[in-house]
Each structure stands twice: as C-alpha cells, then as structure tokens.
Chains A and B, each alone.
Chain A
C-alpha cells in the first residue's frame, strides 16, 4: 500500500514528547532545564532535537538557574522554555516573578506530581494549581494552560509560546503525570500549518524608544539585546524607561498595566470546551487528565438517562469565570473532581455564589480519579 505524501503520519507518542515537538514547531530555540521526573522526557527530546535546528539545549545546575538562562535567552531574542515538576517549580517561582515584572516572554512547563515537598515521585496529582497562580511573591497576572491529551500537549505548548510572545509574560503549561506519560496515537500538524506568533519589536528610532511605555493594547514593543535598542531591564519596579522608581505616580500605573494587559484580553486568552451541556442539569467541571474520567462519567450518566454534561477548562488561569457563569442557568449541581483537595473547586464556588450546589470530588491518593468516583457524587447514583 502506498501512503499519500500529504497525509501526516500517525505516531504513537507521549504527552511529554508532544510537548517537546510543540515547542520546536512554535519556534523555541533555547531550552535550559534540570532533570526531574515526570518531566525529563521533554528535556531529553529537546537535547536531541534543538541542536539539529540550530537551537541550544543546556542542562543547568538547578531550576533557578534554568529559568534564569531562559529569561536571558529570551531577552536576547530567542523563544525559550524550561520544564520541571513540583519541587523544581517551587524553585522557579523567583524567576517567574522576574519574568512577570520585566515582561519577558517564556514558557514554563510543570508536569505535576504529588506534593508537598519531594512528595510522590512519580504519581499523578494536580496539587500545583494554586501555586501556578500565586507561587511567586507580589501581585502579578499569570497565564496557565492545562492539556488533557497528547495532541493537546502539542497544541497548548504552541499556544503557550504564542500567548507569552503576544503578552510578554511567562506562560505556564500545567500538565500532570498522566498526561505527560500517557501514550496516544496522534497526528501532528505539518509545521507550516502551525500558527506561530512572534513578539512585537520596536520600530521607532532607538533614541525614541521608551521600553515600558503603555500602549492601547497594553503590551509595549520589546527591544532585543544586540539589536540597537539599549535599555535597562530590572526586577525592581520601574518607570516607563525601565529605571527603578519609588514614585507613587509611576508604581500604580505600572502595576495596573501589568494586570490590564492580561485582563483586557480574556476573550483571547481563555479557552474552554463543553460536552453535552445543551440540556444538562448537572455539570462536571474538570481539567487535565481528570477531564478524561469526567467525560466517561458523563457518557455513563447519559446511558441511564441522567442529563449530565462536561465543562472542560483549558485555560486554568485567569479563571474562566464566564464559562462557569454560562452554565449556572441550566445546572443546579456542579461536580468538580480534582487530584487535590479542592483548588479549583473553591474558584467554582466563588463564581457560583450559591446559585448552584458545588460538590468537590477530591482524591489525593496518587492515581487518576475513576469515572465511578465522580458519579458517586451524583444524588441517587447507584453503581
């Protein structure tokens, strides 16, 4: 049998491998990281692939150094990424804050395992959801994406790069061990079909360049080291020229813009998906690998005549308030299954404001939640 050339081949691959391929497709040419299970395959694939496309892979002395090198590479114009798991993610928080403050695009992948501390190497969990939001000190906006399939590991890695370039912000790809290590038969798009966004660079003459000037979009064009726009980059709160400031009339506008550049574009940033929600009276709100169990639970519930649907969150932060609000009219019960003790459930409760009953299905036993465990939360459900 002859295979048609234009047909992309299906390939059995891991979520971590798909993530690495997504990075290459998105234009990532610099990776710095430190070994940690269950994320190491991302580093291994990129150590093989990046030098072949003229990029650089480097294994640093720790995770703090890894994200430092990533930010440095990004300031010098490269699309850059690192990948880790919980313990390393804790170390990276220092530089996630720096990237927020200095507005340096970069992608941080966290393939979650059980915590706290060294925790459960290497069993799945979703315990880093709030850390992804608030792990670094100080007020800051952040974008966090969660894939549920191998193909989506590819797609959301590309999207993470695109969003980080567009909004000059670190973007966290929050995978979990199940998604990272799971193998599926996937068809990856041809490189030319992948939509790739690049950061906006200044076009004014260098002497007119004001590196942190507000713009209608909220994101200032980014000068690249070595391209003629000399400016100062600092983790100190800075004025529009990038110089440290302690003036109230400069601090507050900076902080407000930092938030506005994300909050004014929620329609672009937030993604979610619904399944059988049209007539649903009960909804499961899930994300990551748990959404796969949730999907199965919906199918089983429908089989016995229960009108159940699934709201799957793809963008985890900023929290998809609109998505939850949109199902509150039809659904009196929201079930939130999580491999943690209720980190997204409390967000759902906050948005529901008592208009629907929110039931949390928490499992922190180091394995994926089973569909029947979700269904047990349904009133009158008999297995």
Chain B
C-alpha cells in the first residue's frame, strides 16, 4: 500500500495536469513502464523538474515526453540526439534524456546514434526496442528478427537485425546497458546509472508490441511477451559463469559497458582555453606521434 501511495503522489508531481489524457499507447504497451521508471529515477536522484529536458523522436516512444512535466521536446524522426546535443552544449547544467524507438534510433537516426556515441556528449539515451514500427502499422525495423512477419514482410523478413548495444559499444559509448520491460527494478537501477554517468550513456529496453508484432507473429499478448523476456534474459554476472551453449538463444541484461572516457564538454573546455590564449595553439612534435599511436581505430 505504501508503494502505491507514493506512486500516486509521483503521478501528481510529474505528470502534466493540463495534458489531455488518455495517452496514445495501446493496452499492454511497454512505453508506460519506461515512463514510470523514468519518473521514479528523476525523483530518486532529486533533480529539479526545471533541470530535466526530455527529448524524443517520432513514433510510439516519441510520444512519451508530452505527458511529463519537464522541459520536453518532441523532435523529428530519428534526429532527437542532434537536438539533445545542441541543448546540452548550450546549457551544460541541464540533464538531457532522450527517448527513441528502434526504428527511430537505428534506421533513420542510425547515423546520429553512432556519432552521438562516438562524440561522447553527456546525454542519456533510451532506446525502446520492440522490433517493429508500431505507430505506422507494424512495418519491419532494423531489429525485426530474421524470418518473422511484418506488415511490409508478409512473406517473411529476410534481413538481419542490428544488435543495438554492440553497435553503440563499437561506436564508443561510455555506458551501455540493456534490460526489458519485464525487469522493472533493474530498469530503475540501470536508468539511474545511465543518468548519472559522465558521457554518452545508453539503455536499450527490450519491449514488445502486442498490437502488431505479437499479432502477426502469433506471440500472444503482452503477458506472453513478458514471460518470454523473463525466460530468455540472463543477467550479465550470471552469463559470465555460463557455458556458451547454455547462453544460446538467450540475451544478456545489465551493464554491458561502463568505461571512463572524458566527455565532450570536458574536452571542449580545452578548446575554449586554447582559443583564449594569445599565442596560437601549437602541436608538440613529440606529442604528435603519441597521439597517432593512441588513436585506436586501426
């Protein structure tokens, strides 16, 4: 009962009173679960509402910010991270959280995603991955599994999907984590870590789409999907102790990457300092070869 009471008070504190509910999401959708987690995280960390900017792209997940009483920005399809980059660099004290869907973040926004990860601007990104374009009617996305059906793959999908977490890890993200809409306490913990992380932090949330994906692929309702997630998710720590055969068909949840890389703003402060100096910036010839050697892309 205590938990419910505090949940109710969080609703009053963080959801918009003047926004015309009900929300746009279908029954059983995972987006509301993320919304709850997001509010609990911000509340727990104690950030003032004025200091939070919630940015989104287009799609079902893109509708999330409109319900919350933060500074909210509903951008164009796939481009949320670019707007977020501008906000964060112009006003570094703001906490900028970006919510995207899988099509949003990895198809039309794929380029922005990898560059945001590489650039390491201090942003928190959440990708709601439900393997489908829900809002437009269930077309296949870059994470739709091979062989399954979508409204634009009536004869079966013949492309292979992205592994979003490995993609952003390779691109250089400082923090990469994964959870599902079933693992809610874990989602709260990972989101907290992601928001607190200095640098680009991304949380992939595996979700479902009962309306399109489940229906077309005979997967039942939201509860069936959750059961599937529960049975197939393996915590990172446990996975380390498991044999590769036992991990087959499963996926890892938890913190996948956590590394300390100076974030963009910290680096850009150097640029500002050098720009203000009277003498032009000069490269030290000995430093040049060191820089080339530490350039880890070859």
Inter-chain CA distance A78–B92, complex, in Å, is: 12
> CB distance B76 to A230 under 8 Å?
no
Point out the residues of chain B lying under 8 angstroms from A54, CB to CB: 272
Point out the residues of chain A lying under 8 angstroms from B71, CB to CB: 225-226, 230-231
> CB distance A72 to B275 under 8 Å?
no
Min CB distance, B121 to chain A, in Å?
A: 9
Which of B49, B55, B90 is within 8 Å of A56, CB to CB? B90
> CB distance B82 to A64 under 8 Å?
yes
Point out the residues of chain A lying under 8 angstroms from B65, CB to CB: 232
Q: Does B146 contact A (CB under 8 A)?
A: no
> CB distance A78 to B115 under 8 Å?
no
Q: Does B51 contact A (CB under 8 A)?
A: yes
Which of B20, B55, B75, B268 is within 8 Å of A243, CB to CB? B20
> CB distance A61 to B115 under 8 Å?
yes
Q: Does A291 contact B (CB under 8 A)?
A: no
Q: Does B112 contact A (CB under 8 A)?
A: yes
Which of A50, A226, A235 is within 8 Å of B76, CB to CB? A235
> CB distance B89 to A73 under 8 Å?
yes
User: Which residues of B (62-97) have their CB < 8 Å from a CB of A?
Assistant: 65-66, 69-76, 79, 82-91, 93-94
> CB distance B83 to A68 under 8 Å?
yes
Q: Does A208 contact B (CB under 8 A)?
A: no
Q: Does B50 contact A (CB under 8 A)?
A: yes
> CB distance A72 to B86 under 8 Å?
yes
> CB distance B49 to A72 under 8 Å?
no
Bitwise, B99-137 to A at CB < 8 A (1) or not (0) is 000000000000110010000000000000000000000
Point out the residues of chain B lying under 8 angstroms from A226, CB to CB: 50-51, 53, 71, 91, 93-94
Inter-chain CA distance A226–B52, complex, in Å, is: 8
Point out the residues of chain B lying under 8 angstroms from A69, CB to CB: 82-83, 85-86, 89
> CB distance A225 to B82 under 8 Å?
no
Q: Does A244 contact B (CB under 8 A)?
A: yes
> CB distance B73 to A75 under 8 Å?
yes
> CB distance B74 to A76 under 8 Å?
no
Inter-chain CA distance A228–B75, complex, in Å, is: 21
> CB distance A243 to B49 under 8 Å?
no
**Residue of A64, A225, A228 with highest tally of chain B CB at under 10 A:** A225
A29 to B, closest residue via Cβ:
B90
Total chain A interface residues with beta-carbon distance under 8 A: 46
User: Which residues of B (267-292) have their CB < 8 Å from a CB of A?
Assistant: 268, 271-272, 274-276
Point out the residues of chain B lying under 8 angstroms from A52, CB to CB: 272, 275-276
> CB distance A71 to B94 under 8 Å?
no
> CB distance B86 to A73 under 8 Å?
yes
A206 to B, closest residue via Cβ:
B50
> CB distance A225 to B87 under 8 Å?
yes
Inter-chain CA distance A66–B112, complex, in Å, is: 11
> CB distance B86 to A230 under 8 Å?
no
Which of A72, A227, A244 is within 8 Å of B90, CB to CB? A72
Inter-chain CA distance A158–B256, complex, in Å, is: 48
Inter-chain CA distance A379–B131, complex, in Å, is: 68
Evaluate whether A77 and B66 lie within 8 angstroms (CB atoms) in the complex, with A61-B112, A71-B83, A226-B51 already known.
no
Bitwise, A74-86 to B at CB < 8 A (1) or not (0) is 1111101000000
**Residue of B72, B90, B91 with highest tally of chain A CB at under 10 A:** B90
> CB distance A51 to B115 under 8 Å?
no
Q: Does A30 contact B (CB under 8 A)?
A: yes
Q: Does B2 contact A (CB under 8 A)?
A: no
A94 to B, closest residue via Cβ:
B76
Min CB distance, B49 to chain A, in Å?
A: 6
Inter-chain CA distance A230–B94, complex, in Å, is: 13
B80 to A, closest residue via Cβ:
A68
Min CB distance, A369 to chain B, in Å?
A: 38
> CB distance B275 to A51 under 8 Å?
yes
Min CB distance, A233 to chain B, in Å?
A: 5
> CB distance A68 to B86 under 8 Å?
yes
> CB distance A230 to B69 under 8 Å?
yes
Q: Does A234 contact B (CB under 8 A)?
A: yes
Inter-chain CA distance A129–B70, complex, in Å, is: 39
> CB distance B74 to A68 under 8 Å?
no
Inter-chain CA distance A234–B74, complex, in Å, is: 5
Could you pull out 17 A-B pairs where Cβ atoms are within 8 angstroms? A49-B275, A54-B272, A61-B112, A64-B82, A68-B75, A69-B86, A71-B83, A72-B85, A72-B86, A72-B88, A76-B53, A76-B86, A77-B91, A78-B91, A230-B71, A232-B72, A243-B66
Question: Which 5 pairs of residues, A with B, have the shortest CB-CB distance?
Answer: A72-B86, A68-B82, A69-B86, A72-B83, A73-B86
| Given A50-B275, A244-B66, 9 other A-B residues pairs in contact with their CB atoms under 8 A | A51-B274, A52-B272, A68-B83, A72-B55, A72-B84, A74-B90, A225-B94, A226-B53, A232-B16
Chain A residues engaging chain B, CB cutoff 8 angstroms: 29-30, 32, 48-52, 54, 56, 58, 60-62, 64-66, 68-78, 80, 94-95, 98, 225-228, 230-236, 241, 243-244
